[in-house]
Amino acid sequence: MGIRGETGVRAPHGPAAAAPDAWTVATAPGGIPLLGHALALWRRPLAFLAALPAHGDLVAIRLGPQRVWLACDPALVQQILMDPRTYDKGGPLYDTMRMVLGNGLVTCPQNVHRRQRRLAQPCFRPSRIADYATVMSDEIGAAVGQWRPGRTLDVTDAMLDLSARVTTGVLMSTSLAPGVAAEVRGCLATVMRGVLLRAVVPLGPFYKLPTRGNRRFDRALSRLHHIIDGIIAERRASTAGHDDLLATLLEATDDEPAPDACATGRGPDRPTAPPAHQEAPHAKEPLTDQEAHDQLMTFLVAGIETTALALAWTFHLLAAHPEEERRLHAELDAVLAGRPPVPADLPRLGRARRVVTEALRMYPPGWALTRVTTTETTLAGHRLAPGSTVLYSAYVLHQDPVAFPDPQRFDPDRWLPERAGSVPSGAMLPFAAGNRKCIGDHFAMTEAVLALAAIAARWRLRPPSARTVRPVPAAVLSPGPLPMVCELRSRPDGAAPAVPSQAP
Ligand code: HEM
């Protein structure tokens, strides 16, 4: 390929400008004919990616016929994230997700992003998150209230269930009957599995064949669209009595126009999004039903799995580090004294927050994300043609021993204020950065800290036997099934553990 060991000069602007030394550009070793590095990435994604910074600052990975560039240096990642016009949303996963999420915030191209973000922003204001926290506490209490001592849970599954309850509760409050909420979760799981398959194995026309898997995917997707269309229609007919995220979203207005019909890009049966360089026309319009639909789907897809898997990893790490678990229990016993957490406790749950933050560092759910160049550009001194796919991995960045000494160690105290200040800017990116940074970061942290506190105050989760947990390569980084036994905790002051409330 002629680029192994190629060097370039650091870009003359942005975060990379400070260091004038040469970048190294390389190709990942060990590619095989036809598949390139796809098999290695599929089989051991974290180890494969984590080994690449040793080869260069910018490393080419071959996935079948495609070449993807991994930016290994935090300064290069910042350069990408701070220049969304050049590095727009795209790549196999986003292109496939756009089929499901249309022009929702996660997948929309840059030219319609500003309007989408401004319309969604009121839903994520700190005052709104404070309102949601009460709903979150109630939903967490109801989910955990069903646990019984001695029961073995798949913690990954239990966290998906809990997060689905919280997210649908905050998004749509009473609009989703319990049976339908479970159906939404099942459909989302099927759709996300199908999206991942289509992104990793891009066999185009094959997915139109009436195979069992394809029909299951199509059914789940159209059922989801149907449920969401129904909820929006119901809310349009009568907005009275709702004070949830959807109500805020439907009330939102913006000076910028709604894109015309052809700018909504959901599904092969729906028109596609406009090219990234083409600005949407200007005429003031309210949020359209299609925009509301795409945004609701987006919040469900972006909010449930990410937060759930962050929590699943958190419990896995705590079970493997009893000393850290003991410290967490001490904080929970001191702050809560046996009662369930309420939103007002959040400022005093510093250790719980640090535990979640450290789990996000070690296993960031958004472990590998892509952008596509809209124009010719230079990265690490290497010329990238328009349409090049660039990858950044929070997992790789979070394993940097310079930013995080002893990076494999679970050390929540890294996030004590006096130590966190020494983490270089741009080194910790679980929620990304720039204008495409996660809009749900406070939402997610509020939910995760409340859930961790509610569960760990009452329960200790123990794996029934020693086994190695291997991350499962999916759109979101998952520990796979995590069987754990629920043990009721007794507090050191001898007080009886809180009695689990009855299942609703
Ligand atoms: C621990 C939980 C979460 C993690 C780790 C996470 C991570 C991320 C990351 C890394 C991005 C940027 C993606 C990119 O650069 O391509 C992102 C974007 C986004 N996230 Fe989250 N997220 C979490 C929870 C949530 C929640 C709870 C919601 C909403 C309810 C949400 C909604 C979004 C949206 C809408 C975007 C797109 C923002 C934009 O482009 O303007 N996320 N998230």
Over residues 90-124, the pLDDT tens digits come to 988 898 899 889 989 999 999 999 999 999 999 99
Looking at beta carbons, which pairs linking 29-34 to residues 24 or more positions away fall under 8 Å?
29/55, 31/62, 34/64
- Give the Å distance between the CA of 202 and the centre of ligand 1: 24
- Give the Å distance between the CA of 368 and the centre of ligand 1: 13
pLDDT for residue 267: 41
Atom of ligand 1 nearest to the CA of 106: 37
Residue 477 tokens read as 């980084």
pLDDT for residue 494: 62
pLDDT for residue 277: 38
pLDDT at 242 over 70: yes
Atom of ligand 1 nearest to the CA of 443: 27
Between strands 22-27 and 66-71, the pairing is unpaired
Lowest mean pLDDT among 84-88, 167-171, 235-239: 235-239
Q: Which of 153, 155, 163 is nearest to 188 (CA)?
A: 163
Distances (CA, A) of 352 to 133, 156, 335: 16, 19, 11
Residue pair 194/217 in contact by the 8 Å Cβ criterion? yes
Higher pLDDT, 21 or 367: 367
pLDDT for residue 185: 81
Residue nearest to atom 15 of ligand 1 (CA): 432
Q: What is the CATH number of the domain that holds 207?
A: 1.10.630.10
Distance CA 202, CA 207 (A): 9
Q: Is residue 290 part of a domain?
A: yes
Where residue 500 falls among pLDDT bands split at 50, 70, 90? very low
Lowest mean pLDDT among 211-225, 248-262, 335-349: 248-262
- Give the Å distance between the CA of 302 and the centre of ligand 1: 6
Report how far Cα 502 is from the mean position of its chain's Cα atoms: 32
- Give the Å distance between the CA of 275 and the centre of ligand 1: 23
Q: Tens digits of per-residue pLDDT, 173-224?
A: 766 777 887 888 889 889 988 888 888 777 788 999 999 999 999 999 999 9
33: exposed, middle or buried (Cβ count in 10 Å: 0-12, 13-18, 19+): exposed
- Give the Å distance between the CA of 429 and the centre of ligand 1: 11
Q: Can you tell me the mean pLDDT for 454-458?
A: 97
Q: Is residue 477 part of a domain?
A: yes
Where residue 453 falls among pLDDT bands split at 50, 70, 90? very high
pLDDT for residue 217: 95
pLDDT at 504 over 70: no
Residue nearest to atom 10 of ligand 1 (CA): 431
Residue pair 36/64 in contact by the 8 Å Cβ criterion? yes
pLDDT for residue 17: 43
Distance CA 340, CA 332 (A): 10
Residue nearest to atom 43 of ligand 1 (CA): 438
Distance CA 359, CA 321 (A): 12
Q: Tens digits of per-residue pLDDT, 267-306?
A: 434 433 433 434 444 445 678 999 999 999 999 999 999 9
Q: What is the percent of the chain where pLDDT is above 90?
A: 64
Q: Which of 132, 306, 436 to mutate to test the pocket of ligand 1 (most atoms within 8 A of CB)?
A: 306
pLDDT at 18 over 60: no
Tell me, what amino acid is at 98?
A: R
Residue pair 26/5 in contact by the 8 Å Cβ criterion? yes
Atom of ligand 1 nearest to the CA of 447: 27
Residue nearest to atom 17 of ligand 1 (CA): 438
pLDDT at 428 over 80: yes
Where residue 4 falls among pLDDT bands split at 50, 70, 90? very low
Q: Is residue 504 part of a domain?
A: no
pLDDT for residue 492: 62
Q: Is residue 177 part of a domain?
A: yes
pLDDT at 11 over 90: no
Residue nearest to atom 37 of ligand 1 (CA): 106
Q: Determine the structural domain holding residue 72 and report its residue range.
A: 6-488
pLDDT at 496 over 80: no
If DSSP codes are grouped into helix, strand and coil, which group holds residue 383?
A: strand
Distance CA 293, CA 297 (A): 6
Lowest mean pLDDT among 42-46, 164-168, 371-375: 42-46
Q: Is residue 494 part of a domain?
A: no
Q: Is residue 377 part of a domain?
A: yes
- Give the Å distance between the CA of 341 and the centre of ligand 1: 25
Buried residues in 233-255 as b, exposed as e (16+ CB within 10 A)? eebeeeeeebebbbbbbbebebe
- Give the Å distance between the CA of 492 and the centre of ligand 1: 38
Residue nearest to atom 11 of ligand 1 (CA): 438
Q: Is residue 39 part of a domain?
A: yes
Distance CA 322, CA 154 (A): 20
Distances (CA, A) of 121 to 41, 100, 118, 257: 35, 22, 5, 16
Report how far Cα 321 is from the mean position of its chain's Cα atoms: 25
Tally of domains within the chain: 1
Lowest mean pLDDT among 38-52, 249-263, 274-288: 274-288
Residue pair 197/97 in contact by the 8 Å Cβ criterion? no
Q: Is residue 26 part of a domain?
A: yes
Q: Which of 88, 361, 438 to mutate to test the pocket of ligand 1 (most atoms within 8 A of CB)?
A: 438
State the average pLDDT for the chain: 87
Q: At what angle do helices 126-144 and 441-458 cross, to 10 degrees?
A: 30
Q: Which residues contact 261 (CB under 8 A, 6 or more apart)?
A: 271, 290
pLDDT at 237 over 90: no
Residues with C-beta less than 6 Å from any ligand 1 atom: 105-106, 117, 298-299, 302-303, 306-307, 310, 365-366, 369, 430-432, 436, 438-440, 443-444
pLDDT for residue 443: 97
pLDDT for residue 70: 97
Atom of ligand 1 nearest to the CA of 310: 1
Q: Tens digits of per-residue pLDDT, 373-417?
A: 999 999 999 999 999 999 999 999 999 999 999 999 999 999 999
Where residue 495 falls among pLDDT bands split at 50, 70, 90? low
